[in-house]
Amino acid sequence: MAWPCAWNLSGMGDRLPAPTEDRPWPVPDRRWVMAQSWHDLLFAHWPVDSDALAALLPPGLTLDTFDGRAWLGVVPFQMSGVRLRGSPAIPGTHAFPELNVRTYVRVGERPGVWFFSLDAANALAVAVARSWFHLPYFRARMVCEPDGADIVYASERTHSGAAAAVFRGRYGPGGPIRVAEPGTLEHWLTERYCLYASSPRGLVRGEIHHARWPLQQAWATIDESSMAAASGIALPETTPLLHFARSIDVVCWSPRPALTN
């Protein structure tokens, strides 16, 4: 399957993939190091117990809540166009499915994302992300296939020594494209411009930049999912809040200590 990418990957130079005026803080005053595109993404969110999530976070992070509620996201998608700055995408390693389990946190006035797990179908990408970005990536056997406008998705974790985790389902868009309005729950869940991770040096922040999310209402049939349970998180027996995005382009900066800047 050939996945679309909006960039000329070899000629992007120093350009950013989107204007910066909608960001809650300026982009870093240093060069971004990696570019990628995300496709056919489902945001599936559940409200969860705040105390239970907060107990799983490292020191220095504050659990972020919306109207007093914490949220847990399970997010399957397809990644493409993965490349280092100034380099072309590497055939065989630049496109693969990914699936993450996340919640929302902040350090001071900078809200971001905390990942409990990230499964990917590319062993090299897993190794690089674990060592460079200090993220809890795991190898998995994965399928992400279009079926008309819908997506058929399956993932089974294969990482040695990791908790078993499975996701199987089908999802797709169910409404027109729009951007979320500031102050709404969907804006709070999706418009996040950094991630936090634990490293041997302590807590680090990785900045990212992209356009505002082109969101659509979504539907999903989740036949099986143990992704949250694999991280020790119980989900409520309720229908998740669902959003879909067809494609977005992203650049990333190297992580820096989170508690000193």
Only one residue has tokens 């995005």, namely: 245
pLDDT above 90 (res 91): no
Query: In the predicted model, what is the mean pLDDT of residues 106-133?
Result: 93
pLDDT for position 201? 87
Instruction: Name the more confident of 131 and 216.
Output: 216
pLDDT for position 209? 98
Query: In the predicted model, what is the mean pLDDT of residues 246-256?
Result: 96
pLDDT for position 5? 36
- CB-CB contact of 259 with 205 (8 Å): no
Query: In the predicted model, what is the mean pLDDT of residues 225-229?
Result: 98
pLDDT above 70 (res 27): yes
Instruction: Name the more confident of 37 and 4.
Output: 37
Domains and CATH numbers, the chain: 34-257 (2.40.400.10)
- CB-CB contact of 34 with 9 (8 Å): no
pLDDT for position 93? 63
pLDDT for position 182? 96
pLDDT above 70 (res 200): yes
pLDDT for position 259? 82
pLDDT above 60 (res 15): yes
For 249, residues 6+ apart whose C-beta sits below 8 A from its C-beta are 5, 6, 7, 17, 18, 35, 36, 37, 81, 210, 211
pLDDT for position 9? 37
Instruction: Name the more confident of 259 and 1.
Output: 259
pLDDT above 70 (res 48): yes
pLDDT for position 3? 38
For 87, residues 6+ apart whose C-beta sits below 8 A from its C-beta are none
* pLDDT tens digits, one per residue of 133-190: 899 999 999 999 999 999 999 999 999 999 999 999 999 999 999 999 999 999 999 9
- Adjacent-strand bridge partners of 169: 153, 222
pLDDT for position 14? 67
pLDDT for position 13? 55
pLDDT for position 132? 85
- Report the chain's mean pLDDT, rounded to a whole number: 91
What span, in angstroms and rounded, lies between the C-alpha atoms of 207 and 112? 9
pLDDT for position 82? 87
Structure tokens at 111: 């809200």
DSSP H helical ranges for the chain: 50-54, 123-132, 185-190, 227-230
